[in-house]
Structure 1
């Protein structure tokens, strides 16, 4: 597999192998071609999943896991998109099952999959703003609700000395009820998601 990939893409692809899995990194311009070549030329006909990875400060990685059910070969296809303009061609023309995965990656990371047939939120409630799997997204529940785990010294009622409580992971030090400037209120989206094209249902894909 590695030789076939290197022959096709040369220096445009970075190939590595670990624990029986081959990982291929390509630019966005080769993304759809890599998925097509993996399906038609490498036997990786089974699409397993696609997701994003926030890799600050530069951008996001988009990763797809493909599988050859005959030779039992695993392939991770990866590419990177910029944080300023995270766009990538949709993989749905190659693997129709990527439709839901791209919708989830769109709402969780903000990656826009161009030419996707129905790129609207999949899991989050109406009116939700932001992308909760980005590392700079503040999880408000970590401030609004008691943080689980052992009590801080001084809270056990046994006379332990108190110390300054630390904020939960992911919460900036200047954010929360004690901050001088409260965070902006997240309002509903100005535009509701478009209706699903006639004849399609969420089970399609």
Structure 2
């Protein structure tokens, strides 16, 4: 695997936003659209979107087995929002999907799209500064196993957690200018080293920065 390349599952959801953040860190991002695309990446991001749709598309295109094989070869995975649902061993009210991190998660834990919200939080393991958090029809992590470390917990739910190989966030770091979680994941999977850390490069972020990476651009 190429230790400086991170893939983003490109079937549905917020793909370009993640690629934009990776580029700003100086990391080579790769669109993962078929089973052969897992061969040369150190990490994979499962973006926000619709978890049932993503799971179904992975099965249709024969990507689920390839993803699991790459994971067992050493590829790390980060799931944001819908991606976190795909990675959980337990999904309330439905069958689990990939089951790669021991946790229980509740789909649409806050309600409908209208109940989306923004807040900030301190996560010392990820950044010395407060991190902006965007929750969009977000799930709630309601329990974790012994091998799972909680990175962020609020009153009645967990918002970020990890094990040795998997990172999950129920919010969307790719929808803010903050690079902290993308940097943290890049370090986790070896695409960055502490010595090679850089700040944003190439362009300034705004709410439409990602559009230049859209297929029609």
TM-score (norm 1): 0.24
Which gives a bigger RCO, structure 1 or 2 (Cα 8 Å, sep 6+)?
A: 2
TM-score (norm 2): 0.23
